[in-house]
Amino acid sequence: MERGLFTLIGLTTENPYFYVNSALSSRAQIFEFKPLSEQALAQILHHALQNKERGLGDYVVELDSDAKGHLIVQANGDARRLLNALELAVLTTKPSKTGAIRITLSVAEESVQKRALVYDKAGDQHYDIASALIKSLRGGDPDAALYWMARMLKAGDDPRFVARRLVISASEDVGNADPRALLVAHAALAAVEFVGMPEGRIALAQAATYIATAPKSNAAYLAGEKASQEVEGGKVREVPNHLKDANLDREGLGHGEGYLYPHDFPGHYVPQAYWPDPVKLYEPTDLGYEAEIKKRLSLWRSQPKPTSEKNS
């Protein structure tokens, strides 16, 4: 190879850096083949049905649109898989009296040994199943959550979309009742992007079962909504003088004067006004870890706070 006496061309589904002799791989130019797009697979399928010398052009094939879509989706970017399934479907299907071979969805399913799931990734079915997943997580049913998630993944949905739904549920429905839920969900998203599929489904299943069985609280979500409503329809509040940045205007305008540094006080807390005309937005529940937050926050809120004028 080094002298150019012969050219070696090889193809492997394994990682060549691990499975090909290092002496050989170090002297070779390695290219990674990416999965083909559905559009490219559709073109390959069309050519295979038209080509009489190297394809199935000698047969009169009537391919139903849903059967065509199923073959392309189940090929998963692999033209060999697509052509093998198409050939099997044509050669094992009896022609009609007119001599035409009709490939229906049921024939396509038999050819790839996978059932077609009724699922439109851009339509109502997609959002209905995603909604069922979220509501199963919220309702504490890990079995239903796993089923709906598997439906989405088997139908070819983007696993990152599923992972993002888990992240949202971890914050909206579990919240501070178990703050670790968000960490688990985010880790599952990272695992999907790092490991890929199909192994990524393991991390998704772990996150789904954790979220479904965790104590639930939407208090943080509601607090965020209340804060947005206060900004949009409440009073326009100015930043108290003692909270303003003191790096430039401390001497001239007194910015930052009177600010109490919490870490200088026992328990690292000191009563202090942080915004004018305060409104209670976050109301923790008694569930899970949020019960501890509620105790601590109740203690802090019970202590009288000086007004912003007194602080400044």
**What pLDDT digit, counting tens, does each position of 228-276 carry?**
888 888 888 888 888 777 776 665 577 778 888 888 888 888 888 888 8
**What is the Cα–Cα distance from 40 to 32, expressed in whole angstroms?**
17
Is residue 211 packed enough to be buried (19+ CB in 10 Å), middle (13-18) or exposed (0-12)? buried
Average pLDDT, the chain: 84
Confidence band of 309 (pLDDT split at 50, 70, 90): very low
**Side chain identity at residue 64, one-letter code:** D
Would you mind telling me the total number of residues written for the chain in this entry? 312
Candidates 250, 242, 234, 246; CA nearest to 272 is 242
Say whether pLDDT at 308 is over 50. Answer: no
Q: Quick one: tokens of 11? A: 């193809």
From the centroid of its chain, how far is CA 25? 36
Which residues in 81-111 are b (16+ Cβ under 10 Å) and which e?
ebbebbebbbeebeeeeeeebbbbbebbbbb
Q: Which tens digits make up the pLDDT trace of 51-88?
A: 988 888 889 989 898 889 888 888 878 888 899 889 88
Please state, in angstroms and as integers, the Cα–Cα distance from residue 212 to each residue in 133, 134, 163, following that order: 10, 9, 14
Please report the pLDDT score of residue 73 as a whole number. 84
Residue range 203-224: mean pLDDT, rounded: 93
Please report the pLDDT score of residue 169 as a whole number. 94
Percent over 90 (pLDDT), the chain? 25
Residue range 197-214: mean pLDDT, rounded: 92
Q: Domains of the chain, with CATH numbers?
A: 1-116 (1.10.8.60), 124-213 (1.20.272.10), 238-311 (1.10.3710)
Say whether pLDDT at 155 is over 80. Answer: no
Q: Is the dihedral of CA 195, 196, 202, 203 positive or negative?
A: positive
**What is the Cα–Cα distance from 261 to 251, expressed in whole angstroms?**
19
Residue 299 CB contacts under 8 Å (≥ 6 apart), including other chains = none
